[in-house]
Chain A
Amino acid sequence: MEVRFYATLRPLVGGRTVAVSDSCATVREALDELVERFPDLGPRLIADDGTVRPFVAVMVDGRDIRHLDALATALSLTSELDIFPPVAGG
């Protein structure tokens, strides 16, 4: 499964996409794998209490996981996972 990164997160992972294991069954498992490979991602994505940091958008199939099952949101082989740092405009 490929995870897509955007904006200020791209330099941290060296590109637009990073592949994670197909065995990742939840967003938490995918993020754990990503943070293990790219330790600088950890503090950018995860708060001290273990939840996704405020204003960071982790989307599964275009839905922010804060409106799904948070880090327990299930992934399938066809899931599209997008991760955005805090962004806004007008």
Chain B
Amino acid sequence: MNLGGYANHVARVDLTAGTVSYEEINEADARLYIGARGLGVKYLLDNGPTTDPLSDANMLALMNGPLTGTEATMSGRLAIVTKSPLTGTVTDSHMGGWSAARLRWSGFDGLLFTGKAASPVYAYVENGTVELRPAADTWGKGIHETVTTYQSRYGDDVSVMAIGPAGENGVLFASIINEDDRAAGRGGTGAVAGNKNLKAVVVKANNSTMPRAADRDKWRSAHQRALKTILDSEVTGPKKGGLSLYGTNVLMNPVNALGGLGTKNSQTTTYEHAEKISGETVRETILVAEPTCHACPVACKKEVLITEGPYKGLRMESFEYEPAWSLGANCGNDDVGVIAKIIDQCNDYGMDAIEIGNVLSTFMEATEKKYTPGPGLAWGDGAGMVAAVEQVARREGIGDVLAGGTLRAATSFGHPEIAMVVKGQAVAAYDPRAIKGEGIGYATSNRGACHLRGYTPASELLGIPVKTDPLEWKGKGALLKIFQDLHAFSDSLDLCKFSAFAEGAEEYAQQYEAIVGTPLSSDDVMLAGERIYNLERYFNNLAGFDGSHDTLPDRYLKEPGTGAAAGSVCELDEMKVEYYAARGWENGVVPQAKLRELSIIS
């Protein structure tokens, strides 16, 4: 291959046969799909879009991009790509920390797992090789103990990406989580790993093998420019920007103020106790440390110490906006100790903290409306929530029902309409009655409801690249396409999405060009992003999805919001017309001509 930046080394691991083979990256694919998310989806497509997610044939791809683990600011990301057992769509879920960088430093662009091991194994990765080793001693253990076990065995310079009991027990929204409590949280990647008897991927490497840019002169200029935008930004600027000082949870108050904070399973859109669970309160009361990921000066991660109540003494990391909402306002719970406890459970059991919050809120609404047998779960019952999460991870009692995710749980209660999901995956912390761009974003996301596929709140709340009215639906279809395409590209580099609060297509293009050593314009960035988004949609079309699946729960379409969103519903049908026109899709399906135009098919 004639491209710089890549290790040009991918391992195919057949867990059934217990064999590992190595191959180079196809240069044409690398040019079209970049890496990480994009290239991972291409591997998945080639593996077969109709594969049963929980069959041996499904592929679990751990993919770096060409910027992963380099000196590029915020480049500590990898994508885990698979066919989701939760949604049936292709999915990719990214983790931060240092695992991605170590995987790159160990000499890999990606690891492609297929098959199923006869007994639990972990993959040990070092110096360009992969070995499968028995995991009998860690199977059944939580992620924290698993990490400790492997770090004790192999030293501190290892990363451990592992599943916990949730993945082993087939919880459909199980995650893969690393030693820094950074999660490939969404879509059930952990369930796929568990189904394959793959307990962990252990990577030993250090930065002595950090890749160098193909063009050092260009790199210095590109890197300095990108870094300056991050440092100067009033959002990302270290120790001065809102994201740096308060973490992602700085959003709790503004989203609540504009009537976009789904409360009690989105029955209302304002929460009277939002301040108690906000980033400001966390910083003032329980913050103890602010760790970073590889090559990141922002330090948005917030580590807290609970100082009172039943969880006093708990020190944990990942007190983020999404779980603070899903387990807080969404469940009528204003106790930061309970939120911290459950996030920590998720990090140890290995499950998606967004989905579990929605599972619990659905269970709570079902209880309130007497849809469930038994005592159920009351709004804000912290101890009950903690106990239920434990049951889910073990698939015990009601936990066995809840382990199927929000939609399956609601369906089992006889009321699927109370599941706030799209394509079977639960919604995030932006109510589409108040933030209309997220409505079309959730509906058309290729991996089920997701706030990060196209982060329109950057425009609707902050004003990047321009300020748009969150209550206005017109123009949001076209706006969403821009964000989806830009993020598809940055997810393929793989840079942290938060870089987009300061950087844009031009900064991405310059860094790619310097690292990979081939020309790329900002227009090329957007085109590659569009191609990757269409590749995912093509996969989903082949798997049986079309425009009828691009929808929202009726609650968002028919029941008005509250507070500043009083009287407002989400005008999804109008936005879909605009969005499909911008995409050139026909009823959610990519036409053959579009596939050819984007060089996805010949």
Contacts and interface: CB of A to CB of B under 8 A. Distances in A.
Which 9 pairs of residues, A with B, have the shortest CB-CB distance? A62-B564, A89-B248, A87-B242, A86-B234, A67-B469, A89-B251, A87-B250, A62-B258, A82-B257
B451 interface: yes
B572 interface: no
B288 interface: no
Given A61-B564, A90-B452, A55 B253 contact: no
B241 A86 contact: yes
Interface in A1-44: 6-8, 10, 16
Contact of B564 (A6, A63, A90): A63
A90 B429 CA distance: 9
Of A6, A59, A86, which is in contact with the most chain B CB atoms at under 10 Å from its CB? A86
B517 interface: no
A42 B83 CA distance: 52
A2 B181 CA distance: 40
A59 B251 contact: no
Interface string A57-77: 101011110110000000000
Nearest to A59: B257
B258 A88 contact: no
A46 to B, nearest CB: 14
A86 B254 CA distance: 10
Contacts of B235: 55, 86-88
Interface stretch (B110-118, B151-159, B454-462): B454-462
Contacts of B259: 62
A89 B243 CA distance: 6
Contacts of B243: 87-89
Contacts of B451: 90
A17 to B, nearest CB: 11
B462 A62 contact: no
Given A16-B275, A87-B243, A88-B243, 10 more contacts: A7-B246, A8-B245, A10-B280, A64-B469, A86-B241, A87-B254, A89-B249, A89-B320, A89-B321, A90-B248
B563 to A, nearest CB: 6
Interface of A: 6-8, 10, 16, 54-55, 57, 59, 61-64, 66-67, 82, 84-90
Interface string B221-246: 00000000000011100001111011
Contacts of A16: 275
A55 B462 contact: yes
Given A6-B280, A7-B242, A62-B259, A88 B457 contact: yes
Nearest to B244: A8
A57 B464 CA distance: 13
Interface residues of B, number: 46
Contacts of B563: 62
A88 B429 CA distance: 13
Contacts of A6: 250, 253-254, 280
Given A87-B246, A88-B235, A88-B461, A62 B240 contact: no
B130 to A, nearest CB: 32
Contacts of A89: 243, 247-251, 300, 320-321, 498
B467 interface: yes
B463 interface: yes
Contact of B254 (A57, A61, A63, A90): A57
Central interface residue in A57, A82, A89, by most chain B CB within 10 Å: A89
Chain B residues touching A, majority SS: helix
Contacts of B467: 54, 64, 66
B182 interface: no
Interface in B437-477: 451-452, 455, 457-458, 461-464, 467, 469-472
Contacts of A55: 234-235, 462-464
Nearest to B457: A88
A36 B469 CA distance: 30
B196 interface: no
Most A CB contacts (10 A, CB to CB) among B247, B257, B455, B497 go to B257
B253 A54 contact: no
Contact of A63 (B233, B234, B242, B258): B258
Given A86-B462, A88-B458, A90-B451, A7 B245 contact: yes
B139 interface: no
Contacts of A85: 234, 242
Contacts of B234: 55, 85-86
A55 to B, nearest CB: 5
Contacts of B85: none
A37 B485 CA distance: 45
A46 B42 CA distance: 48
B38 interface: no
B279 interface: yes
Interface centre among A57, A62, A84 (most CB of B within 10 A): A62
A66 B250 CA distance: 21
Given A62-B564, A90-B498, A84 B321 contact: no
A90 B456 CA distance: 11
A6 B497 CA distance: 24
Contact of A90 (B242, B279, B497): B497
Nearest to B283: A7
A84 B248 contact: no
B463 A54 contact: yes
A21 B245 CA distance: 31
A89 B279 CA distance: 11
A7 B564 contact: no
Given A8-B242, A55-B234, A85-B242, A90 B321 contact: yes
B267 to A, nearest CB: 18
Contacts of A63: 258, 471, 564
Nearest to A54: B463
Contact of B250 (A7, A59, A82): A7
B122 interface: no
Given A62-B564, A82-B257, A88 B251 contact: yes
21 contacts: A6-B254, A7-B253, A8-B245, A54-B467, A55-B463, A59-B254, A59-B258, A62-B258, A62-B564, A64-B469, A82-B254, A84-B257, A86-B235, A86-B241, A87-B235, A87-B461, A88-B462, A89-B243, A89-B300, A90-B248, A90-B455
B501 interface: yes
A62 B434 CA distance: 10
